[in-house]
Amino acid sequence: MALFDQRGQHVHTQYNAQQMNFGAVQTTQDLIVELEKLKAGLLKAKEDGQLDKKSYNGNLSLLSFCSRAAR
């Protein structure tokens, strides 16, 4: 199990991936569905002002690449 040192971090609003269940992914389509959930969470974070445009675009690009690769 990974341990993360979170000392000094300041979290305002935290978005958890609890609705995403990658452990249940059995097919390519299952993976695509979970990646789309991540994209939706990313958009919500941007709209709520928790993610700047550069971070949003960079992460969206990565998720889009993963979705295309899975297809």
Helix extents (H) in 1-71: 28-47, 53-70
Q: Is 23 left (phi over 0), alpha (psi -120 to 50) or beta?
A: alpha
**Is 29 among the domain residues?**
yes
Length of the chain in terms of residues written: 71
**Is 44 among the domain residues?**
yes
**Is 46 among the domain residues?**
yes
The per-residue pLDDT string of the chain (71 residues; one tens digit each, 9 = 90 and over) reads 566 676 777 766 665 555 556 677 899 999 998 899 889 999 999 999 988 999 999 999 999 999 999 98
**Is 8 among the domain residues?**
no
What is the per-residue burial (b if ≥16 Cβ within 10 Å, else e) of 22-31? Answer: eeebeeeeeb
**Is 58 among the domain residues?**
yes
Domain that holds residue 32: 25-70
Q: Rg of the chain's alpha carbons, rounded to an integer?
A: 14
